[in-house]
Each structure stands twice: as C-alpha cells, then as structure tokens.
A = this chain, B = another copy of it.
Amino acid sequence: MKLTSKGRYAVMALVDLARFDNINPVSLRDISLRQGISLDYLEQIFSKLKKNEIVKSIRGTQGGYVLNKNPNDIKLTNIFNAVDEKVKTVQCKKESKRGCNGKATKCITHNLWDELEIHINTFFENKSLKDLINNNKETRV
C-alpha cells in the first residue's frame, strides 16, 4: 500500500498555500520553488483542486491561487478525492453483489478489506488543513 506523489504533493502544496495566502494569492511558481515540486505537475493538480472548489484562481500578473474554504473545513478526504487518490482495498465494484474477477459472490476476506478501508478513511476524515498548519507552527516554535 503506498501513497502516491500526487496525493502527497496536493497536501504539501495546500499546506504551503494556507500559510501564505493571508495577503496575496500564491503562485504555483512559488510553491514549486519552496516545496521542490515540478511546476507542470502542480498545474495538473491544482486544476483538479479548483474543479472541486478547494481553491480559487486569480489570473494575470500577481495572480495565483487562494483557498476557497476555511482551512478547518478542508479535510484530507476532500483533497484526496479531488486528485483521485482514493483508498482501494479491493478490485471489485462496491455496489455489485459479485466478487473480484466476476465471481458470483464476495470473497472470504471481504469484511476485512471493508474494515481496513474504513479505518484508513477515518484518518483522512478527521484531519483538516487547519490541523496541519497548527501542527507545523508548533514544530516551528
């Protein structure tokens, strides 16, 4: 089970953004330089964050991105959903009664994987961008 860079970058970038957006919009270029993430890749990521109304964009010179919600209302779940970083412990469709590889029934360990998925998602639901900023301020002191 690994977390992809896309998901990791999305959170990193938003934490960076949340720290600096008090005064002016923050440009991807700045985030790219500060966090060491490819600018082109960041653009793909922010395109999705924008579609999911997590950030707003301001075009033109001195433009950039701004948070579209209170940091307290942006949960990791929202961020990961936006960039398609979903937790998948199974291959079969959830809605379907059938199991993996088109088997007629769900597998013998199916409950376990459901539990696992819930366990991980709970973590994401309980963690907001605000937690991360605060957490980091503490570290800085």
Which chain A residues have a beta carbon within 8 Å of chain B's beta carbons?
A: 1-5, 7-8, 11-12, 15-16, 35-36, 85-91, 100-101, 103, 107-109, 111-113, 115-116, 119-120, 123, 127, 132, 135-136, 139
From A127, which residue of chain B is reached at the shortest CB distance? B112
| Complex contact B1–A107 (CB within 8 A) | no
Q: Judge whether B113 and A8 touch: CB under 8 Å.
A: yes
Give the chain B neighbours of A86 by CB distance below 8 A: 1
Cβ contacts under 8 Å, A91 to chain B: 5
Q: How many copies does the complex hold?
A: 2
List the B residue with the shortest CB-CB distance to A139. Answer: B111
Which one of B16, B88, B103 contacts A1 once the chains associate, using CB atoms below 8 Å? B88
Tell me how far the C-beta of A14 lies from the nearest C-beta in chain B, rounded to whole angstroms: 9
A3 to chain B, nearest CB (A): 4
CB of B11 within 8 A of CB of A87, answer: no
A16 to chain B: closest residue by CB: B108
- Chain B residues whose CB sits within 8 angstroms of the CB of A115 once the complex forms: 123
CB <8 Å contact, B11 and A101: no
